């Protein structure tokens, strides 16, 4: 029980998130979108920038933010100083927010996944509940998943583990068997189909390019079976 409490009370900054994002390989947007979706979790890109030096700077600044808790405002300030020195137009507040929140949220979400799949946690809390913020900014497909409960090992989490879109704020809450029984919660199975949400018919799927679980694609330095794009990106990083 002490091990469980320690895991669940870990601060937002944790080694799993840092390790995950640190292993990402900067590639150009063209290279990124040429990758099969399952490999994109091992890559990092920023729309509008193709120079490796600039992409490395973005990656480094975000890694620092995850390691040290840098704010989005500081990230934008540091990046715009660098971009100005290199002759590039700086990023807007919208761009900075999108880049910062999407990448940081993904890293933290991967770290959380590694914690809640610890055998000790899974044994005591074998159910997961999808938790959407559920306000006017919440996407209809994400709202359709809100409060749905599945077993931790259900294949649905290979597709629906958040974040499930740019600037997605959804998360996962673990539940014990006792909580599920006491609350008379229905335990779902498998992928949801289409449905009507607030009067709109939608296919209940994550946003495009967010239909994989990034925590289940770990980077392997031996590169066996990896696309040529990632092999070259790894070689560039090793030569720095």
Q: What is the pLDDT along the chain (240 residues), one digit of tens a residue?
A: 444 444 444 444 468 899 999 989 999 999 999 998 888 888 999 999 999 999 999 999 999 999 998 899 999 999 999 999 999 999 999 999 999 999 999 999 999 999 999 999 999 999 999 999 988 899 999 999 999 999 999 999 999 999 999 999 999 999 999 999 999 999 999 999 888 888 889 899 999 889 999 888 765 556 666 788 888 888 887 766
Closest to 106 in 3D by CA, of 69, 62, 50: 62
Q: Where are the domains of the chain?
A: 2-112+218-239, 120-215
What's the pTM?
A: 0.79
């Amino acid at each position: 029980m002490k091990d469980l409490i320690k895991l669940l009370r870990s601060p937002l900054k944790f080694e799993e998130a840092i390790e995950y994002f640190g292993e990402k390989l900067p590639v150009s947007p063209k290279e990124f979108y040429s990758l099969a979706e399952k490999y994109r979790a091992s890559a990092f890109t920023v729309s509008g920038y193709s120079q490796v030096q600039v992409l490395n700077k973005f990656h480094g600044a975000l890694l620092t933010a995850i390691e040290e808790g840098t704010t989005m405002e500081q990230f934008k300030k540091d990046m715009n100083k660098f971009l100005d020195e290199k002759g590039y137009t700086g990023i807007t507040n919208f761009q900075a927010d999108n880049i910062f929140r999407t990448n940081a949220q993904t890293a933290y979400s991967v770290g959380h996944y590694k914690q809640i799949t610890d055998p000790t946690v899974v044994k005591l809390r074998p159910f997961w509940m999808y938790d959407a913020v559920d306000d006017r900014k919440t996407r209809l497909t994400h709202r359709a998943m809100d409060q749905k409960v599945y077993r931790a090992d259900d294949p649905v989490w290979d597709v629906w583990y958040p974040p499930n879109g740019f600037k997605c704020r959804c998360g996962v809450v673990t539940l014990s068997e006792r909580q599920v029984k006491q609350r008379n919660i229905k335990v779902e199975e498998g992928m949801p189909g289409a449905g009507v949400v607030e009067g709109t018919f939608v296919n209940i799927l994550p946003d495009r390019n967010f239909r994989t679980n990034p925590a289940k694609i770990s980077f392997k330095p031996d590169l066996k079976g990896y696309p040529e794009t990632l092999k070259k990106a790894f070689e560039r990083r090793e030569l720095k």
